[in-house]
Chains A and B, each alone.
Chain A
Amino acid sequence: DQQVKQNSPSLSVQEGRISILNCDYTNSMFDYFLWYKKYPAEGPTFLISISSIKDKNEDGRFTVFLNKSAKHLSLHIVPSQPGDSAVYFCAASARGSGGGADGLTFGKGTHLIIQP
């Protein structure tokens, strides 16, 4: 049973527009959520995170929104740039940013393609 779901395997967005990546979770014990970005032949790279006590966190072009009642989070990228083309993984933890002894629970990822 998948506890973290990314229902869109891929997303195509025009350069300069907003990219919105969605993630749903089922485990109410999750209290920390992260987004990782992965290029081919590289390991995942931490992008942005949010604690369950917040509903929004912003870092430059990247903003993550958390809706706890809906168990839903989204990553907004504005404006989208060609270098943003990558696979984006949503991850969740019941033990803080590193996952603690339970590790992080990842979704399957969304392949974002930024078109010129």
Chain B
Amino acid sequence: ETGVTQSPTHLIKTRGQQVTLRCSSQSGHNTVSWYQQALGQGPQFIFQYYREEENGRGNFPPRFSGLQFPNYSSELNVNALELDDSALYLCASRGGLAGGNTGELFFGEGSRLTVL
């Protein structure tokens, strides 16, 4: 059973550019969520996808968007990058019903984004 894998592990972008981060969910998990962890902070919920649709969102602007594919893999897209977007982006997956009360989150190692 493979765990949650993310790519790339590190990347550097400049302000105003766009970035796409990728995530492969743990086998059998149908729900994926993304978190942003800024330096010295805890992870902050960006959004959740279930069956290829976003069904939950934290306090992030629309320039943060995502996709979930039929194989449950996922992408996080960030447009018009700002310096404050520099952070570790964590993908997490779980099984169970969307919005339901089952299944702890399993996190990937994260993608560290630096915006210059």
> Which residues of A are interface residues toward B (Cβ below 8 A)?
4, 6, 32, 34, 36, 41-46, 49, 89, 91, 95-109
CA distance A103 to B4 in the complex (A): 17
Counting from the closest, the 9 A-B pairs by CB-CB distance are A96-B101, A103-B45, A101-B56, A106-B42, A43-B107, A100-B99, A46-B104, A98-B94, A101-B99
In the complex, what's the smallest C-beta–C-beta distance from B50 to chain A, in angstroms? 8
Contact A96 B100 (CB under 8 A): yes
* Chain A residue contacts of B105, Cβ below 8 A: 46, 98-99, 104
The complex places the Cα of A43 from the Cα of B110 at a distance, in Å, of 6
Q: Which of B24-57 contact A (CB under 8 A)?
A: 31, 33, 35, 40-48, 55-56
Residues of A within 8 A of B92 (CB): 43
A-B contact count (CB 8 A): 82
Interface contact A96-B45, CB-CB below 8 Å: no
Whether the pair A101, B98 counts as a contact (CB closer than 8 A) is yes
Q: Closest approach, in angstroms, between the C-beta of A65 and any C-beta of chain B?
A: 19
